[in-house]
Each structure stands twice: as C-alpha cells, then as structure tokens.
Structure 1
C-alpha cells in the first residue's frame, strides 16, 4: 500500500473531482459518509453522548457532515465550532448551514478557555479540528482545548489525523496533540502515522476508501510503501523438489568477541531458520565450543583468542553478515578494513560493524553496492549525525543511502528500509521485540535471504516483515514482557506459514 504526502492527497482530490465530475462538497459528503458508516457500525445506536469538535476548514467540514448524519440516525450529538480564525472554507460554511437546518441546538462557538465544555469519561469525542493540511502553530487557547480533551479520558476519534500534528515535521508542543484511540485517514496512509515522534498519537489507524481516482493513485509513486502481506508475498521464492542445500546458498556470520558470543549464536540460528542451505560462523577462538554446541548445524571458523584480528575466507560466500558482537578493538577495526578490500560477496552490516564505519568513514568507499545496514537509533546517529526530528532523520538517511548506494534499515516500532528516495515501512512487530538480541536475529534473517538469491532490497524488506511477523506470533505464547530473541527464531517457520494462510471470516471482519 502506498504512502502519500499531504500534497499528493490534495492532488488526488483534485484529480477525482475532474475525472468523476463532482464538486469538492460532494467529495466531502462521500468521505464523511464513510466515516459515519464506520462509527455507526461500531456504536450500533448506542445512547452515549458524542461531542464533535470542528475546525473551520475542510476537516471541520467533514466533522459537520458526520455530526449531521449522526443526528439523522438518532444519536445524541453536541457540535462545537473551534473559532481560531475568521477565515472559513466554503465547504465548511455550506455544511454548517445544512447542520443548522436539522439540529435542535445549533453548534456551540468556542473562542476561549471559558467556553470549554465539561465532558464525562464515558462520552465520545470526534476530533475534526485540523487535518493533514495544518502548517502553522496553534493559538494558545486551542492548545489548551486539546489538552482539555486529552485529560477528559473520553474515547477519542480523530478524522484524517490527530489535531495538532503536522504532516511533515514534529509537533510544536508534544502535549498539544490529540491522543486518538482511533484515527480514520482517507484512502492511503501517511508517513506521520509510522514515525516514533508522531505515530504515538494514534492507537488504532483505520484507512478508509473514499473512491479517489484510481488512475492517479496507480500512477503516482508516493513517498513510501507500507509493507504488509500483499507486498511481501510476491517476493517469496518457492523451493523446488529437485534442489539441495547448495541451491539455497552459503552464508557467513562474522562477529563475536569475549562476552558477546550470544550475538553470533542468535544470528546463526536465525539464518538457518530462514532457509539458507549452509551457514559458517567466523568467530574468535573463545567462542568455538559455544558455537559448536549451541548450533550443531553450523560450521565454525575460529580466529584469535578474544577478538577477531584477521578475517580471511578461502571461499566466496553467497552472502555475509558482519558486526554482531564484533567489538571495536583496534586490531578488529584493521581486520574489518582489510576484509572490505577483498570482499566480493553481498553484505549485511550491523552493530559494531556500523560503529566501525562511523569511526572510519573511509571504509564506506569499500562497501559493495546495495550493502544493507541495520542500525538501531544510536548507531544510525553515529553514522549520519544528529537530527532535529524524525523527518530530518529520514531526510539524512535518504541522502546517506544515495551517497553510498546502500540500503539502510532504520530499526524501530515500524522499521523502515530506506533505499535512495523510497521508504518501505514495515507493519509487523510489537513492543515485546524491544529486547536484547532481537537485532542480531534480524541480521541473520536478512543475510539468509540474501544468500538464497533475493536481491538486496527484497531481502531487507522481506526480512524485516518476517522478523516482525515471527515476533507477533511468538507473543501469543510469551506476552510482550516474556518475549526473548530466541522466541523470535523459534517462530520464523510459523511466519512463513502465516504468509499463505487465508484469514478467517472473523479476522476479515475485524480487519
């Protein structure tokens, strides 16, 4: 599923009005009707009090239509106009007049703190104050209104985007944004819902189809792609009957140092579980017995005693994952640089491998094209420098990817694979995966896919998806708190099976 920017959504609206020969008012009615249908399907005529807070632009216009439709279907509704400016869109004014025609009580005008209504916790709030077009700081009393709504603890339902959020930068006041239980956005998701600083304001994201022009949607590339089962299933490479272990590649996991051998154990096990034919672990001597005992399916090459001082292979692996538990001893850094000079295999670099690149930026010139880097936030900061917000982080990551022709997996709640200007936003995974060794597992999985012949971008995208999916399956047995990295490995097979499961009727209805 594509991810659109605010500007692209405006262009999609305009293209739809032209192709369908409808007015903006008719398009607003169509969109708001879909929102009403969703609310009505959930409330089923419940007698709860619904408070609809409308801005004075088109997002407010959507709110006015929803308010009118709720009243027409017998719901208890109070409507409020948030008067933060004298400017009103014509669509807002038209729907304001239509609402007044049927409402027993006209909408209440809010102009200052003294106008704020008292809310009960069992009430519902529909937030239609600002949409994705917000581009200026909020006046102080509107910020206070948003804080008032948040402290009410009502069920919060935001139209398009939680009010107070920009679509292209972090909010001015982190507390001046609606914390929405549900956000309904139109047609396609937006990046704002998947970045740490802004995604936190939406608990449940619903994307509703409002019939925007299909040709425009198909032909416009978007700013990214939201990765779900439909996107990754075509990437899957089925195994054929007359194959053998050599068919599925030989990957090497290079890493480990005294006290950090567990990282290599996890990455090696994950590589095997993800389907590579052969795995060799290249480690210091101190980890030899650990690896041979923990992963009997793997082969082991041992270097010096406590850390790697030389990295030489007498064969060409299908893919190499390097960096997990590696350490940053001077001898190891030198060995890493010499390895990069000689290496011709596709690479996945993680952990201390990334830290070494940050210390020795001249090593970046030696990376094979489409090398995959998998940093956590602090490792990414060492690599690209500090950022002012998540949007700046993405901008700098794109620039780094272009400059060095590499793929960067920005790990997080929604891990994002960045390749030049395109973003691939993962939609699997859960908070339980914020645990030691989870990243080592991901490195092993991506390296495994790379060794099986997946191209670098597909290996990164598919690996991140499977990693999150395995974690999602695992927590059904472990809980968030009880999940450890080994549980993710244990459920990689189930994640592959999940790709081909047909959803039950209940699952389809829930979706």
Structure 2
C-alpha cells in the first residue's frame, strides 16, 4: 500500500481532527508518540548509553520530555535533558511532561541556548536526540539556535531528530546550513514532504514512523502526497487474465523520431512493449534497427530535414482514434510545422490520453488550458522553457512551481527532477527511489513509453504517470545493480522492466 506523506498544515489538521472528532486529548497523542518513539529507539541504542535530549518550548519539546520519561521507564538510566524551554512559552502538554520529569527526578539542565551550548560542549554523549522545534519550523534560525546546532552537529554519536530536524522546512525541504544532521528521524504519524526534497535524502540515514494510535485510513484523508512501494505495482496494474487477448492490454500509438533522432523513438516504443502493452504502433519518418520486431511501423511523410510534416494529419488522426493512449515527442525535433501538427492533434482529441515529452512540449505554453488526459513530462530545463522561469529558480522551488503550473494548465505534470514528482494540481506523488546512473541519454524516452503503456492498460493518467515513474526508477535500480551506475544505459532500464512489471 502506498505511503502517505504530510505537509505542515496537513499534520496540524490531522492532530486537530483526532482531538475534535475522535475526542482524543492532545496529551494522549503526545503520550502515544513518545511511547512509540521510545520503543523504536530500543532498536538503536544500548541501556548503558549516555543519552542527551534537547528540548524546546513547543510540543516538539513536549515530545522530548515525554520521551525522556519513557526511556527511563524502559531502563535507560543515563539520560540528560538539556532544555531551552521557557515556562511561559510552553504549551499545556509540554508543561505537563516537563513537570513530570522534574517530579521523577530526571536530570534536567535548563538555560538559554547559549548556556545549553556551553553545557553541551563540556560533555560527550553516545546519543543526541533533538526535540527543539519540530514540524512547525523552517530553514530560518536564530543565531543562538545556530550555535547550539553547530555544537551538536560537531559531536560524534548517534543523532536522532524527533518529527522534523531543526532547521529543515517540512514543506519545501529547504534547510539552514546548520540544520540538525540526523542519523535517524522518528517522525509522527507519517513522513513529511520536506524529507524527500532538495537533496535531503543525503542529509539523514533513515526515517521511522511513531504511531499516534491512528490507522492508515485516518492519515490518507489528510495527505495530498504519497509515495509508492513495490507491492503497489501488481496491485494497480493487475494480473493478466487467462481468457484474454492483446486487445485487452491497450493499443499504444507513439508519434516520435525523425531521420536525425530515430533512436529516441525506438526506446519509447520498446519500453511500451516491454511494459505489457497489447499492441504498440510507432509512427515516424525513420526507424532504428534496434526497434523490436513486435512493434508495428507506420511510415510518415517527412519534410526536407526528415521531420514529420503537416501532411500526416489525416493518417495520424485515424490512428489516434483507434488507440488507447498516445505518446508524442521523443526525437521529433522542434520544426514549427511539426509542433503545429502536434498541437492540432491534441486539440482535436480532448478525450484521448496523451503523453507529451521532449520537443513536443514546445507546442504548448504555460498559459494553455489543457485537460487531465494530458501528461507533460519536462525535465528542469524544459520546464524552465515552458514557464519562462530561470532553471536555477526552478531547481530551488520545483515542488511548489510544479504544483502551481499543473493547476494553472489543468493537466498532469511529471517533473523529471530529483526526486521525480507528479502533480495534477491537487494530488502529488513523490518517487523516492532511482539512482544517478539513470541520468543518461534516452532514460526519459523510456519513461514516456512506460507512461503510455500503463495509460493504455487502463490506469488513469495520474496513476500512469506516478506509478510509471516508480516502475521506471525500480527498473533503473535493478539495472544499476546488474550493470553499475557508471555503465548502465537506457536500454538496460527496458531490459530490467521484466523483473518489475
């Protein structure tokens, strides 16, 4: 089952709903979180370990105080709570757990961030647990907090962030240079979107989820984002029926390639075939000899440069009508007449399912209103060209921008970023796997073929793009194991599809 991912607002809404509709007191939610976090930590730390828990004034600090108590109850006897919490700023829940720690005679050292930093510098611990700010924080930090985090980051020891590392934005993934560097994040209820953005995959080692006593169905009603796991592939694609034929698994039309770029079209068509399509047609002006024999070739008229010309509109229209999904773009070139032809075809068939890739994206502008039958698959530079936003600005804000333009253009946008993300304006799926070996020519052409195949087989366009990205990445990871990241090529991703779908 896919894993739900929450934004800051969704986390707050889920907590409020649990309290107002289920009648679960906030104190119980904090208690459940701390108990679950303590149980998780028993897998990573030893009873004799010296443990430092850094606590702030908010509910994240309350989690830290409650966690100290639960670890003490489990037999961890060397716990020091270093608190920068101010009594006047504590939430009621945090104050309760702070007072319990005092009454249980747990070691609590209090002071402002400067005092706590000095205290931290005087002693080394085996484990550092950070519960300073939590999910409500951002990449903006005060100077005294920066010094505190610099101190703990410089320490040798196992480091744990509770819910969200201090200095990391839970929505955008942007982080301060001094953000807490965790070996382990124990997050409440569900992972946060920011964990997966802005190269944060390299900023921590592992994520574990602390249960609040609420099930997956509860979480899903608040989460607009998710990521897939391997077992979702068979669940969503389904098994092939014994009493079935090629016409039950979709007919894919690929309009791609040119005399100059026949290989791109072959990669797309071969990927669509290997992904399980019933029939695959390739309409092109030139055909690469690596094209699988199972693919039906449709020879198109070309202009003097070998690119698809407008005279093909009638024949292509007939093929579009008979096919389940249509992929357009790889190797097609950007001749103005070719782009006009592409636009005319898409506009003529608003009820058909299209995957628009590569140069074909140039047939459209960011002001176009498309529909949810259209998937655009730009990489960062193609998205920059489409939106007229500098690539640097795209790279720094790609999550928010992709969401915005998917809504504005009323279509599905799959941005080939790291991580890859799929938006329809309301929902989003993050592809959390994949590897740098996939950053080579032709990998995107393979992706387009996978999208078209899954679309033809009956998945919605949003499902085809989001699950297709996961299938592509999974195949890429297998290819990296088999061939290595340095030597794998796009064709290897196609070969490895047989172990994924």
Give the TM-score, by structure 2 length: 0.85
Moved more, 158-167 or 147-156: 147-156
Q: What pairs up with 1:364-375 in 2 under 5 angstroms?
A: 364=368, 369-375=372-378
Q: Distance in 2 between matches of 1:464 and 1:213?
A: 27
1:321 corresponds in structure 2 to 327
Establish whether residue 306 from structure 1 lines up as the match of residue 306 from structure 2: yes
Q: What pairs up with 1:100-249 in 2 under 5 angstroms?
A: 100-103=102-105, 105-112=107-114, 115=118, 117-118=120-121, 123-134=126-137, 137-169=140-172, 171=174, 174-196=176-198, 201-212=203-214, 217=219, 220-229=221-230, 231-249=232-250
Question: Post-superposition shift, 1:371?
Answer: 0.7
Distance 1:336 1:120, change over 3 A: farther
Moved more, 248-257 or 157-166: 248-257
Moved more, 54-63 or 3-12: 3-12
Distance 1:398 1:271, change over 3 A: same
Q: Distance in 2 between matches of 1:244 and 1:79?
A: 66
| Residue aligned with 1:132, SS | coil
The one of 359, 362, 381 aligned to 1:355: 362
CA contact (8 A) 2:419 2:432 kept: yes
Q: Which runs of 5+ in 1 are unaligned?
A: 497-511
Distance 1:142 1:471, change over 3 A: same
| Residue aligned with 2:194, SS | helix
The one of 476, 485, 494 aligned to 2:481: 476
CA contact (8 A) 1:84 1:111 kept: no
The one of 367, 382, 386 aligned to 1:383: 386
Q: CA RMSD in A?
A: 3.2
Q: Distance in 2 between matches of 1:116 and 1:233?
A: 54
Q: Distance in 1 between matches of 2:139 and 2:433?
A: 33
Aligned residues between the structures: 485
Establish whether residue 430 from structure 1 lines up as the match of residue 427 from structure 2: no
Question: Post-superposition shift, 1:169?
Answer: 4.5
Distance 1:33 1:127, change over 3 A: same
Distance 1:141 1:295, change over 3 A: same
Q: Distance in 2 between matches of 1:332 and 1:389?
A: 28
Distance 1:341 1:66, change over 3 A: closer
Q: What pairs up with 1:14-93 in 2 under 5 angstroms?
A: 14-17=16-19, 23-45=25-47, 47-72=48-73, 73-83=75-85, 87-93=89-95
Q: Distance in 1 between matches of 2:378 and 2:132?
A: 38
CA contact (8 A) 2:188 2:211 kept: yes
Q: Distance in 1 between matches of 2:484 and 2:78?
A: 39
Distance 1:247 1:16, change over 3 A: closer
CA contact (8 A) 1:372 1:460 kept: yes
| Residue aligned with 1:7, SS | helix
CA contact (8 A) 2:237 2:454 kept: no
Moved more, 187-196 or 298-307: 298-307
2:293 corresponds in structure 1 to 296
Q: Distance in 2 between matches of 1:75 and 1:437?
A: 57
Question: Post-superposition shift, 1:400?
Answer: 3.0
The one of 457, 460, 464 aligned to 1:455: 460
| Residue aligned with 2:43, SS | helix
Q: Which runs of 5+ in 2 are unaligned?
A: none
Distance 1:135 1:339, change over 3 A: closer
Give the TM-score, by structure 1 length: 0.84
1:94 corresponds in structure 2 to 96
Question: Post-superposition shift, 1:181?
Answer: 1.9
Distance 1:426 1:2, change over 3 A: same
